[in-house]
Amino acid sequence: MTCPYVKRIHKIAAEESSDSTVFLLLGSHEHPEVRGIMSYVNGEGYAFNTCEELEKLFSSMNFEQKKVILAAQTTQSLTEFKKCKKFLEKLCTNALFFGTICSVTEKRQTEAASLAKECDGMIVIGGKDSSNTHKLYELCCASCPNTVWVERAEELSPASFSDTTNLGITAGASTPDRIIMEVYKTMSNETQDFAQMLEESFKSLHTGETVTGTVMAVSANEIKLDLGAKVTGIIPRDQITDDATAVLADMFKIGDEVTAFVIHVDDNKGVASLSKKRVDADRHWFSLVELYEKGEILEGTITEEVKGGLLININGIRVFIPASHSGLPRNASLTALVGTTQRVRLIDIDHNRKRALASIRVVRNEERKALEDAFWAEIEVGKHYMGTVKNMTTYGAFVDLGGVDGMVHKEELSWKPIPHPSRVVSIGQQIDVYVKEFNAETKRISLGYKSEENDTWRQFMKDHGVGDVLEAKIVSILPFGAFAEVFDGVDGLIHISQIALTKIASPADVLKVGDVVTVKITKVDEEKRELSLSIRALLEEEKRAEEAAAEEAAIKEEEAKRAEEEAEYAPYIVRTID
């Protein structure tokens, strides 16, 4: 239950102090808070009430070899702390200073000092053992000598303020409201102006109001606000944010101003239940209405699928998107859009029910129209586009050029005849196309795809010609022959007469689709882009080679036989001598 401000000083004292430091604390020696803080100090530590005491401490002790640390009791005077800091800065080059005076106390002291300067009479209410009340009394006395310090209304002597024109009142942080009200009732009989001012300072709250208060405490599940009223404002976590990971201590600091909606007021308990989300929602709603009136495109996250459509979060406001405005085809599943960020335009506002309708489809149509207008303004014959294959038919492929579709006829997809566009391209593939012709009125565009760069015939003929022998894959079989692919996109015909050495009834008797065979280019028709291939020519060459080899072997055999006979009859041969 330790105050977070006091707990912070405990941490500073424990972590910053050591045997090589001197921990100095501006505070009342016997005050429980001071005694608690000093118990965390490691090494030397001293508490003092005033800057004068600090000066005497320094004159009587030697701190030259140690690092000085200065902090303050949370209820101490900020002015006194600044004096001590200034004194130490002159003597110590490596001193550490920690501003540990509570911001609420600091604000209360500043306001009390300011009020005392404007008044010729001051009443300070609070316990005589209260440190922060004591500081308030000292501050008020400095500016207004006619200052009294009381614990209860019975201690007041209204006669002592008989000559007072402006009477001020302040109280310590822990002074109960009922004590302040007793003082008010006592003084209200003496000065109506004072009574009116004090009554105004204790304004009443009503359900449905919007109020602004100062954060006085932050916990994991709520924040508390000083509303300048008879009650303390409390905003539970679920009335601040829907984010389960949010940390309230990161969102709010002591002294921050927060505007909230009053849900309920309990005068008996002295608390008011507030909602920040309600104020934020109202503010965001008015902002949404303004954006609707301006016709601006908005961006938000689809949070969930509901009956008949989707919900999108736009600046904290849930906006409904009908299924017909989702931008998806009719009866398509909307689940795929949940969690995505979408651009929408508000199409309707119900001010009374604070409901809005939005459309993804309208934005997409507008963007598509803008792209189309820009496209048609710049299109020209020969211009290249990187497009995406969107759809295919038996006669060609439709390509999305960026909001506008064009068509590539299948004859323009390949240099050779193809049965279907899928032989060359696939759905979703990006291809480089160029405009062959277009009609802006009918919105039709004829595209070209094949070019010299992707002309496989030219690529093949750069390295091949008549007489070349190469591998080929049978791709189709017809009654008069078989077509074989010799290069990607380049086929040649093997006539039925060029398949085998002997006459065959059908190419299918010898070949089947998928077979890889060795062929010889026998003829090239550049104009028609046709190749004549032959398996038979290679078979004949192979046969001739075999026959030649057999003939050569026979000759060699005959020569060997003759040599053998000569060797056998050599002794009987009579040679004629000239």
Q: Verify that 568 and 483 share a domain, yes or no.
A: yes
Does 574 share its domain with 484? Answer: yes
Helix (H, G, I), strand (E, B) or coil at 279: helix
392 lies in the same domain as 493 = no
Same domain? For 312 and 390 the reply is no
Last residue of a domain, one of 201, 226, 246: 201
Instruction: Confirm whether pTM is higher than 0.75.
Output: no
Taking the alpha carbons at both ends of the chain, their separation in whole angstroms is 148
- The reported pLDDT for the residue numbered 575 is 60
What CATH number did the domain enclosing 123 receive?
A: 3.40.1010.20
pLDDT of residue 418: 80
159 and 191 housed in the same domain: yes
- Show the beta-strand stretches assigned E in 271-413: 271-275, 297-306, 309-314, 317-322, 341-350, 355-359, 384-392, 396-400, 405-409
Query: If DSSP codes are grouped into helix, strand and coil, which group holds residue 518?
Result: strand
Task: Compute CA 574 distance to the chain's CA centroid, rounded to the nearest angstrom.
Answer: 115
Kindly report the number of other CB atoms within 10 A of residue 458's CB atom.
13
Quick one: which of 334, 363, 330 has its CA closest to 346?
363
Q: Is residue 284 part of a domain?
A: no
Does one domain contain both 17 and 91? yes
pLDDT digits (tens, 9 = 90+) for 11-63: 999 999 998 899 999 998 888 889 999 999 999 999 998 999 988 888 888 77
Residues 464 and 419 in one domain: no
Same domain for 56 and 151?
no
Instruction: Classify residue 566: in a domain, yes or no.
Output: yes
Based on the fold, state whether residues 62 and 158 are members of the same structural domain.
no
196 close to 189: Cβ distance less than 8 angstroms: no
Q: Please tell me the predicted confidence (pLDDT) of residue 189.
A: 57
- Whichever domain contains 336, its CATH number is 2.40.50.140
Q: Does 285 fall in a domain?
A: no
- pLDDT given for residue 24 in this prediction: 94
Give every residue of the chain whose pLDDT is below 70, as ranges: 1, 159, 188-204, 451-454, 571-578
Domain boundary, last residue among 83, 101, 119: 101
Q: Which pLDDT score, from 0 to 100, does residue 493 have?
A: 93
Q: Is the alpha carbon torsion for 367, 372, 377, 381 positive or negative?
A: positive
Place of tokens 């009020």: 115
Quote the domain boundaries for residue 46. 4-101
Question: How far is 494 from 536, CA to CA, in rounded Å?
Answer: 9
Task: Note the pLDDT of residue 270.
Answer: 79
Residue 91 near residue 80 (C-beta atoms within 8 A): no
Please report, as a single letter, which amino acid is at residue 342. Q
Of 448, 468, 483, the one marking the end of a domain is 448
Residues 305-363 pLDDT 10s: 999 999 998 877 889 999 999 989 888 889 989 999 999 999 998 887 888 899 999 99
218 with 274, same domain: the answer is yes
Q: Is 33 a catalytic residue?
A: yes
Examine residue 554 and state whether it is found in any structural domain, yes or no: yes
Count of structural domains, the chain = 6
Residue 286 lies in a domain: no
Cα separation, 444 vs 461, in Å, equals 36
Is position 236 within any domain?
A: yes
Q: Which of 15, 33, 257, 304 is catalytic?
A: 33
Give the model's pLDDT for residue 391: 92
Q: Could you tell me if residue 371 is inside a domain?
A: no
Residues 549 and 469 in one domain: yes
Does residue 471 sit in the same domain as residue 444? Answer: no
Q: What is the pLDDT of residue 98?
A: 92
Any domain includes 372: no
